[in-house]
Amino acid sequence: MSSNNNNKDNNNNRLRTRLCGIALDNPVIAASGTFGYGYEFAELYDINRLGTFSFKGTTKDPRFGNPTPRIAECESGMLNSVGLQNPGVDKVIEEELPKLRACFHKPVMANVSGFSTEEYAYVCERLDAEEQIGWLEVNISCPNVHGGGMGFGTDPGMAAEVTRAVRAVTKKPIIMKLTPNVTDIVSIAKACEEAGADGISLINTMLAMRINLRTRRPLLANTTGGMSGPAVFPVAVRMVYQVSKAVGIPVVGLGGVSTPEDVLEMLMAGACAVEVGAANLTDPYACLHIIEGLPEAMDRYGVENLSDIIGAAH
Q: Give the pairing of strands 225-228 and 77-80.
A: antiparallel
Is 125 among the domain residues? yes
**Is the Cβ–Cβ distance between 27 and 306 less than 8 Å?**
yes
152, part of any domain = yes
Domain-embedded: residue 313: no
Residue 124 lies in a domain: yes
43 is a domain residue: yes
Radius of gyration of the chain (CA): 19
C-alpha–C-alpha distance, residues 286 and 30, integer Å: 9
Here the CATH number for the domain that contains residue 249 is: 3.20.20.70
Length of the chain in terms of residues written: 314
Print the domain residue range for 97: 2-308
Task: Give, for all 314 residues of the chain, the pLDDT tens digit.
Answer: 555 666 676 788 999 999 999 999 999 999 999 999 999 999 999 999 999 999 999 999 999 888 899 999 988 899 999 888 999 999 999 999 999 999 999 999 999 999 899 999 999 999 999 999 999 999 997 654 545 555 678 889 999 999 999 999 999 999 999 999 999 999 999 999 999 999 999 999 999 999 999 999 999 999 999 999 999 999 999 999 999 999 999 999 999 999 999 999 999 999 999 999 999 999 999 999 999 999 999 999 999 999 999 999 99
Which class for 76: exposed (0-12), middle (13-18), buried (19 or more C-beta within 10 A)?
exposed
Residue 97, in any domain of the structure? yes
Residue 142 annotated in active site = yes
What's the whole-model pTM score? 0.93
Domain count across the chain: 1
Question: Does 314 reside within a domain?
Answer: no
Catalytic annotation, pick one of 20, 142, 272, 287: 142
